[in-house]
Chains A and B, each alone.
Chain A
Amino acid sequence: MIWSYAWKGFARRKTRAALAVSGLAISIALLVAVATISRSVRGAVGASLEAAGADVVIQKVVKPCPWAQVKIARDLSAVDGTVVGAVRDVEGVDNTTGVLDLWAFSEDKETGAQHPTVVAGVDPRKKTIGPVRVEKAEGAEDESCCAITEGRYLLSTDDFHVMVTEDYAKAKNLKLGDRCQLGPYSFEIVALLDLKAGAHISGAEAFVPLKTAQRMYDGGDVVTTIFVSLKQGRALPKVKEVAATLVGPEAKVTSEANIGEATAALAVVTQRTLFAISAIVLTLVLLLVVKTSLASVAERVAEIGILKATGWRDGDVSRLLSAEALYAGVIGGIVGTVVGIGLAFLYGTVVQPALPRSLVSYPECSTTEAPAALPFQATPSLWVLLAAMVAALVIGSISGYLASRRAAKLLPAEALRQL
C-alpha cells in the first residue's frame, strides 16, 4: 500500500514530479540519442569499409594537383605501386589491392566545357576487395557491394575497356558495347554496374583496368588508394607503421576506429567522449534530482510529522520517499529512452551522415551523385538502453536514499512544532 500511497504523493506534487522526471528524461534522452547516433554512424561507416571488403584504407593526402585532362582525384597523391605488395607482406594482412582514382575531363558536346568523369583504375584480378567487389571473400559473411547488371567484369587482358555505373550510363545515354570518352581516350563499355545504395570508398562512374588508368595518368606504377583486409586486428599498428615508412608523413590510414572522427556531426563523439559527456550530464542531473528530493522533504515536514505521529516508523517514511524517487527514475528513464531513440531516428532523416570528403573521389560538378551517403539506420544498443534505465534508477535510488535519510532524522515532535 506504501507504493500506491507513494504514487498518489508523487502524482499530486505535479511541479516537483515534473521537474525531477523532465531533468532525468532530458539527460537520458540526450545520452540515448548520442550513443545511438554515434553507434549507428559507426555502423554505417563500417558498412562502407565492409562494402569494399576491407578493414583499412591507405592514402596519401596532399594539395590538389593542377588541372590536367587526366588528373588524380581531389587532393590525393600518387603512391608507388610497390607499397601495395609491401603492405600485403605484413603479418596478419589477408589481402590488398591498389586503386588509382582519376578525374578524366572530356569536352561537353553541347557547351564545349571540359567535364570530369570519375574514373577508378582497379585490378581485374581482385574481385573480392576494392571499390567494385563483385564477389565475397572466402569465408566472408557479408554480401558483395555491387552487381554487374549487364556484360562482364574486367579481364586481365582488357585494355581500353570500361565498366560504367548504370547511373552514369543513363546520364550519358550509353549502353553496353558503346564507346565512352574518358579524357583523350575512347573505351568500350563491357559492363553496366549497380553499385547499390550507400557509401563507396573510391567509388567512381567508370572503372578501367589499373594498368590502363596508370597509362592514362602517365605516372608509372602508382596508385592513390590501397585497400587492406586484415586476418587479425592486431596487424593494424604494423600496417600503419609500414604505411608511414613507405608513403611518408602525408600517409592517411583510415580504419573503422578513426573513420567516424572525420565523419559529419555527431559521429565525432567517440566512445571516450561519450563516457565523459555521460558522466557530466548524469552528475548534473543527480544533483538536480537530489536537490529536488531534499527540497521535497523540507516542504513536507508537516506531512512527515503526521505520518510519524500516527505510527509510521522511520523505515516506513524512508520507503515512501524512496518509492516516490523510484517512480521519478522509472518514468524519467522510460520517457528519456523513448525520446532519445526518437531523436536518433530524427537525426537519420534530417542530417544525412556522409563519408569524409577524402574518401570520396567525386568532384562537386560530377555527372552523377557521389556515393557518399552513409546507410544510417538508428539502431539502439540493448546495452545503451539497459544502461540508461539503470542510470535513471540509480539516480532515483540515490536521491530517494538521501531524502529518506533526512526524513528519518526528523523527530516527530519537532516536525509537528514546525507546523
Chain B
Amino acid sequence: MPSHIVLGGEALDIHIEHVAKSYRLGQVDVIALQDVTLQLPAGDFVSLSGPSGAGKSTLLGIIGGLERPDAGKILAGEQDLTALDSEGLAMYRRHSVGFIFQSFRLLPALTALENVMIPLVPLVESDEAKQKQVIEALDRVNIAHRAGHLPGELSGGEQQRVAIARAIVNGPNVILADEPTGELDRRNGELIMQLLRELNQSGAATIVVASHDPDVVGAARRQVKMEDGRVVAETA
C-alpha cells in the first residue's frame, strides 16, 4: 500500500480480446457480450453507452475481475485475468480496481469513514496508517468533514463522494463506474463527473464509466457505444 494515494501508480493497459459472456435465466440463455474487443490504455477516460441490456455492466464486471468471460481474454498489463483463480482475481481487485456503483452501495450501519475503510480491513498495515489513508481519500473528494456520519445522514451527492473515496482508497489503476450519476440530480451528477475528470487528470488511473446519460457519456475523452452485447461504435 502506498504511503499516500497514487492513482494509476503503475501504468496498466487493459486489452479485451474477443470476449463473450452469457447468462442462464431460468430456461433461457441470455447473451450479454459477444466478441467484444477493446483497448483501454493506462490513463484513458472511456464511457460505455447503450440501452439497458447492451452489456455495459457485464463488461465492467469482467474488466474489474468480478466475473469471468465464457470466451476471450482480458489482459491487465501482462496479467491474463482469465487465467486467475478467485484468490488471484480478489488480489487484482484489491490492488488495481476501484468500483463505483449507481446506488452507492454503502453499508448503512457504518460511518462514511468506516465505509471507506472496508477495502483496507483485511490488510496488515497498522490501524493508524489505514486511518490516515481513509482520511486522505475522503479529503480528495471533499467529504472528510462528514467522515463520522452514517450514509442515511448524507445527501445522494455526498454518499456518492464517499463511494468514490472507497473506490480510490487503495490507489487503483482502474476505476469502474456503473451509472455513477443514475440516482443523482443534474447538479450533483455534474459535480461527480467533474470529480472523476479531476481524478483522471491527477494520475494515470484509467476510468471507465457505463451510462446512458448523454452528459456523462460526453464528459469522457473516448466513447464506446454498445448494443446487444457488441461494441458498435467508438469515437474519440
Contact B103 A309 (CB under 8 A): no
Known A1-B127, A2-B122, A413-B61; judge A311-B95 contact (CB<8 A).
yes
Question: In whole angstroms, how far apart are the Cα atoms of A313 and B66 in the complex?
Answer: 12
**Stretch in A167-175, A224-232, A299-307 touching the partner:** A299-307
Cβ of B110 within 8 Å of any chain A Cβ, yes or no, is yes
Encode B57-79 as 1/0 by CB contact (under 8 A) with A. 00001001011000000000000
Known: A1-B130, A314-B87. A306 touches B105 (CB 8 A): yes
Q: Are B66 and A310 in contact (CB under 8 A)?
A: no
A306 to B162, CA, bound (A): 14
Given contacts A8-B114, A412-B66, A413-B67, contact A306 B107 (CB under 8 A): yes
Say yes or no for B154: interface residue by CB 8 A criterion: no
Which residues B103-119 have CB closer than 8 A to chain A?
103, 105, 107, 109-110, 114, 118-119
Q: Is B99 an interface residue (CB 8 A)?
A: yes
B170 on interface, CB distance cutoff 8 Å = yes
- Closest-CB distance, B103 to chain A (whole angstroms): 7
A interface with B by C-beta (< 8 Å): 1-2, 5, 8, 12, 302-303, 306-316, 411-413, 416, 419
Partner of A311, one of B61, B90, B127, B130: B90
- Chain B contacts of A307 at CB under 8 A? 118
Contact A311 B93 (CB under 8 A): yes
Q: Which residues of chain A have C-beta atoms less than 8 A from B91's C-beta?
A: 311, 313
Residues of A within 8 A of B67 (CB): 411-413
CB neighbours (8 Å) of A2 from chain B are 121-122
The answer for the CA separation of A314 and B88 in the assembled complex, in Å, is 11
Q: Which residue of B lies closest to A308 (CB)?
A: B90
B127 with A312: CB separation less than 8 A: no
| Cβ of B212 under 8 Å from chain A | no
What's the nearest-Cβ distance from chain A to residue B162, in Å? Answer: 13
User: Does residue B56 face the partner (Cβ distance < 8 Å to A)?
Assistant: no
Whole-angstrom distance between the Cβ of A324 and the nearest chain B Cβ: 13
B202 within 8 A of A: no
B64: chain A residues at CB < 8 Å are 309
Name which residue of chain A comes closest to B67, CB basis. A413
Residues of A within 8 A of B105 (CB): 302, 306, 416, 419
The CA of A2 and the CA of B119, in the complex, are separated in Å by 11
Indicate if the CB atoms of B94 and A311 lie closer than 8 Å: yes
